[in-house]
């Protein structure tokens, strides 16, 4: 798999964050907005359980490259 094709998913149970490495421009908006969730030096680097779903949605909608997206998990 090429680097541009890497796609990872992270969930807090209610919402799943989708991160596409090939689209990421490393602007850092996610890290600056929700540093408790986006921790580039940790594994996993996205920890959605550390913020409310609405805060995650708002931050993801502000991603300048579109590398971050989300979908709601159905119960």
Q: What is the pLDDT of residues 17-73, one digit of tens each?
A: 999 999 999 999 999 999 999 999 999 999 999 999 999 999 999 999 999 999 999
Produce one character per residue of 54-67: b if its CB has 16 or more CB atoms within 10 Å, e if not. Answer: eebeebbeebeeeb
In this predicted structure, what is the pLDDT of residue 74?
A: 82
Structural domain tally of the chain? 1
Residue 2 reports pLDDT greater than 90: no
Q: Say what the pLDDT of residue 37 is.
A: 98
Return the CATH number at 62.
3.30.70.20
Domain with 24, as residue range(s), is: 3-72
Distance (Å, whole) CA 45 – CA 47? 6
Q: Band of the pLDDT at 5, cuts 50, 70, 90?
A: confident
Residue 75: band (very low, low, confident or very high) from pLDDT cuts 50, 70, 90: low
Banded pLDDT at 1 (limits 50, 70, 90): low
């Amino acid at each position: 798999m090429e680097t541009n094709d890497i796609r990872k998913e992270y969930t807090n149970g209610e919402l799943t964050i989708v991160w596409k490495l090939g689209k990421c421009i490393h602007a850092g908006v996610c890290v600056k907005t929700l540093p408790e969730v986006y921790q580039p030096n940790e594994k996993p680097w996205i920890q959605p359980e550390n913020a409310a779903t609405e805060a995650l949605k708002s931050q993801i909608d502000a991603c300048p490259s579109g590398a971050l997206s989300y979908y709601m998990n159905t119960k």
